[in-house]
């Protein structure tokens, strides 16, 4: 199909779906985009304009309005061509320009470090809050890119698929757009686990005829029963999408042939009353599986999804799912938020978003002061997790993420309820406040007349970001002095264990850099923030370390560490200019005086001293680069009598008496032996492992030379202890 035919086909579909659409405006947008992308080609060699037209086709299928279709056609113009916002606004109006601008900003997102990913997700949520159509167009863009992803480099395919699986598919789910969610998941899985994907495809192909016969038989049986009962109905059947089967296989550790619940039948009727009547007939015809009935009509999902679900066992003994809903429910299930445009033409984006998608703004508001790590974790809980539905004692439904506790429930009702909480009742019985709520639980919060406030350990029990932020706000407001004390203790402890205390406390420039970075006017405010959980100690320590390293580089450019300064050390090792600090000698390389050494800042102990030729030094990751520091032996401290442990491995021929000669040399040189063992190897060889104490490298070298002179000794090398 050439491009002229393709755009004509697009406009024909638009007119059929929405006769009032402005097709002249759509055609003008196509002409404009086609001219802008002239000469550009996709990875597969096709003219670039094919992509915007394909995106527009998906937008038409969603049922969005004229401006959305125009924005879909022009969504890459601002990013990949010379077109600017003002030009688009002049030709097509500010609505189209704003949509294109919003999609362009989302296209500049990075899926990398937590800080960047946090800001990217915030941008996405802000765009959704302003106009939900922005994310719908972006979903259409991502869907077409995933359909043609095989032309991208393999590494890019995997990174885009992971991004789609973790970000875009869950957003499609949260917006109720199941059809797009399923396709995004299947296309992503095909790249992330091609072997697992193909296994399911092959398995379904083997069972295709069997499934087709079974589903046709079920449709006929249910349809006949409903026709006899006078219930007008439309019945369809399908095999569940590949990713849902994949999850079930790996969750249950089963093969495709062991998964039976992979077929679903959908019954669409005219009224809610008919839905429940059909449920009764289905349970008469087939045996229901206990615990597998879900009523999303009386308790809709947060994304607006409504339906009855029941799993029953067919006459052949194979379980299958039946979904029962009205036509309106079905439209919402298929198209989610887009159903507001597809089936309610003329409803403005503001009207349709005002109440139904207020959760987007609430999520943004609750995350304003959250750190990157917490934001990423919270967003996945609040936006992407499975839900549980519980009830207040009055019968009101409260939706919470899976794993939520009564504390989450209390703060979900109101901050005052959470702050006055003393206990809870679940289904009329006293329960623990860390109980994981289950679907259908009736939750009653017990409170005191006085506001006692939350406990700090509640932060380890809760699931929702809303509860976490409200608890942190309470500690921030009510316990300032306590927070300062707690924050000072936590930071001091970590500074000392990381050998950064002196640098932070005695160098005002480092201290000021840290305060400026995190936006705190004084050290006291920083302590308070650490105390109430507004910032983590780890984040502060990392910044202190970065500033300390930067300061050292300014002071000592390539200056070797010397021990000329009169600094005392208990360990025999001087660490930079710190001198006496906690030091341990690494067992992986057992350094002794005379070895070239380097120090590694450990978490919670001090400095671990390694030989520079240690394998762990050579293989350290780039992330650990800043934790390696200069160290040197303290010649003034080390005396002849002080001993350092090291290990040797002696390779020998299997000659009688060789072990006795090795022991004799050790005794003659007054070497203390901590461990000594030997074993015979195949083909007439043997090894002797020794752990000894020496005063330094010169004594060790002399000893190794004597051991090598023994008849039958092949080699002597140092080992880890």
Helical packing angle, 537-555 and 523-532, nearest 10°: 140
Exactly one of 8, 38, 79, 701 is catalytic; which is it?
79
Rounded alpha-carbon distances, angstroms, from residue 532 to 450, 455, 457, 528, 644: 21, 11, 12, 6, 46
Q: Which of 471, 467, 461 is nearest to 436 (CA)?
A: 461
Phi, then psi, of 210 in degrees rounded to 5: -65, -45
- Beta-bridged to residue 598, according to DSSP, are 610
Residue 80 among the catalytic residues: yes
The 10 Å Cβ neighbour count of residue 46 is 12
Phi, then psi, of 493 in degrees rounded to 5: -60, -45
Strand 607-611, strand 597-601: pairing: antiparallel
Whether 308 contacts 294, CB under 8 Å: yes
DSSP annotation of 456: G
The 10 Å Cβ neighbour count of residue 173 is 21
Whether 663 contacts 706, CB under 8 Å: no
Rounded alpha-carbon distances, angstroms, from residue 33 to 237, 293, 337, 621, 640: 40, 50, 27, 47, 83
Whether 326 contacts 268, CB under 8 Å: yes
Alpha-carbon torsion, ordered 375, 376, 381, 382, to 10 deg = 50
Whether 140 contacts 59, CB under 8 Å: yes
Whether 323 contacts 309, CB under 8 Å: yes
Distance CA 467, CA 154 (A): 42
Tokens of 13: 């579909």
Q: Which residues contact 51 (CB under 8 A, 6 or more apart)?
A: 42, 76, 144, 145, 148
Exactly one of 61, 80, 524, 546 is catalytic; which is it?
80
Q: Is 106 exposed, middle or buried (0-12, 13-18, 19+ CB in 10 A)?
A: buried
Whether 107 contacts 169, CB under 8 Å: no
Residue 38 among the catalytic residues: no
Q: Which of 531, 395, 374 is nearest to 462 (CA)?
A: 374
Rounded alpha-carbon distances, angstroms, from residue 281 to 38, 267, 278, 284: 60, 12, 5, 5
* Neighbouring C-alpha atoms within 13 Å toward the C-beta of 172: 25
Whether 359 contacts 466, CB under 8 Å: no
Phi, then psi, of 485 in degrees rounded to 5: -60, -50
DSSP annotation of 166: I
* Neighbouring C-alpha atoms within 13 Å toward the C-beta of 176: 24
Q: Which of 510, 517, 507 is nearest to 545 (CA)?
A: 510
Distance CA 156, CA 161 (A): 8
Listed in sequence order, the DSSP H helices in 286-336 are 327-335
User: Helix, strand or coil for residue 316?
Assistant: coil
Residue keyed to tokens 């190897």: 681
Tokens of 336: 């989610």
Q: Which of 167, 178, 128, 529 is nearest to 362 (CA)?
A: 128
Catalytic residue ranges: 79-80
């Amino acid at each position: 199909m050439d491009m002229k035919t393709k755009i004509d086909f697009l406009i024909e579909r638009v007119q059929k779906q929405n006769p009032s659409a402005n097709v002249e405006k759509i055609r003008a947008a196509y002409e404009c985009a086609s001219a802008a992308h002239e000469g550009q080609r996709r990875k597969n060699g096709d003219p670039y304009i094919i992509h915007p037209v394909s995106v527009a086709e998906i937008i038409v299928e969603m049922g969005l309005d004229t401006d959305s279709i125009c924005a879909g056609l022009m969504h890459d113009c601002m990013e990949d061509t010379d077109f600017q916002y003002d030009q688009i606004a002049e030709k097509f109006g500010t609505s189209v320009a704003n949509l294109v601008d919003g999609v362009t900003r989302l296209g500049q997102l990075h899926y990398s470090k937590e800080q960047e990913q946090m800001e990217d997700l915030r941008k996405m949520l802000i765009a959704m809050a302003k106009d939900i159509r922005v994310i719908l167009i972006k979903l259409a863009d991502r869907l077409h890119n995933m359909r043609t992803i095989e032309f991208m480099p393999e590494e890019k395919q995997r990174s885009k698929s992971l991004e789609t699986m973790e970000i875009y598919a869950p957003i499609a789910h949260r917006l109720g757009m199941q059809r797009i969610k399923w396709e995004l998941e299947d296309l992503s899985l095909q790249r992330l686990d091609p072997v697992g994907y193909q296994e399911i495809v092959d398995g379904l192909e083997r069972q295709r005829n069997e499934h087709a016969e079974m589903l046709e038989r079920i449709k006929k049986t249910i349809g006949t029963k409903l026709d006899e009962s006078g219930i007008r109905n439309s019945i369809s059947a399908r095999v569940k999408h590949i990713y849902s089967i994949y999850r079930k296989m790996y969750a249950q550790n089963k093969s495709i042939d062991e998964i039976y619940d992979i077929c679903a039948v959908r019954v669409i009727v005219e009224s809610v009353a008919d839905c429940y009547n059909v449920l009764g007939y289905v349970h008469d015809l087939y045996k229901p599986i206990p615990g597998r009935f879900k009523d999303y009509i009386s308790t809709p999902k947060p994304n607006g999804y409504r339906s009855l679900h029941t799993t029953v066992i067919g006459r052949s003994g194979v379980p299958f799912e039946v979904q029962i809903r009205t036509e309106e429910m079905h439209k919402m299930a298929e198209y989610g938020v887009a159903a507001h445009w597809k089936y309610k033409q003329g409803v403005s984006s503001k009207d349709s978003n005002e109440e139904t998608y207020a959760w987007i703004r609430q999520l943004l508001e609750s995350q304003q002061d959250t750190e990157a790590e917490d934001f990423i974790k919270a967003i996945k809980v609040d936006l992407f997790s499975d839900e549980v539905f519980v009830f207040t004692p009055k019968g009101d439904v409260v939706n919470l993420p899976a794993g939520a506790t009564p504390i989450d429930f209390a703060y979900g009702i109101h901050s005052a309820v959470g702050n006055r909480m003393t206990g809870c009742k679940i289904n009329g019985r006293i329960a623990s406040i860390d109980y994981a709520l289950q679907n259908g639980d009736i939750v009653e919060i017990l409170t005191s007349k006085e506001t006692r406030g939350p406990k700090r350990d509640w932060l380890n029990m809760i699931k929702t970001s809303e509860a976490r932020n409200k608890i942190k706000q309470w500690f921030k407001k009510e316990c300032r002095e306590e927070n300062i004390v707690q924050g000072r203790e936590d930071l001091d402890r970590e500074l000392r264990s990381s050998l950064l205390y002196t640098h932070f406390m005695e160098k005002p420039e480092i201290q000021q850099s840290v305060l400026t970075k995190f936006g705190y006017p004084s050290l006291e405010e920083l302590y308070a923030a650490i105390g109430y959980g507004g910032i983590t100690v780890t984040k502060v320590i990392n910044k202190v370390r970065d500033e300390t390293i930067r300061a050292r580089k300014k002071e000592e450019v390539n200056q070797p560490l010397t021990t000329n300064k009169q600094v005392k050390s208990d360990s025999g090792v001087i660490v930079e200019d710190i001198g006496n600090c906690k030091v341990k000698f690494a067992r992986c390389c057992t350094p002794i005086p005379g070895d070239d050494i380097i120090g590694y800042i450990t978490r919670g102990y001090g400095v671990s001293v390694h030989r520079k030729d240690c394998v762990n030094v050579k293989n350290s990751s780039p992330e650990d680069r800043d934790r390696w520091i200069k160290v040197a032996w303290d010649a003034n401290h080390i005396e002849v009598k002080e001993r350092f442990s090291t290990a040797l491995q002696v390779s020998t021929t299997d000659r009688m008496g060789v072990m006795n000669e090795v022991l004799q040399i050790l005794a003659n040189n007054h070497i203390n032996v901590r461990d000594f063992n030997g074993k015979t190897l195949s083909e007439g060889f043997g090894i002797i492992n020794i752990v000894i104490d020496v005063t330094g490298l010169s004594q060790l070298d002399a000893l190794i030379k004597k051991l090598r002179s023994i008849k039958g000794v092949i080699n002597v090398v140092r080992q880890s202890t």
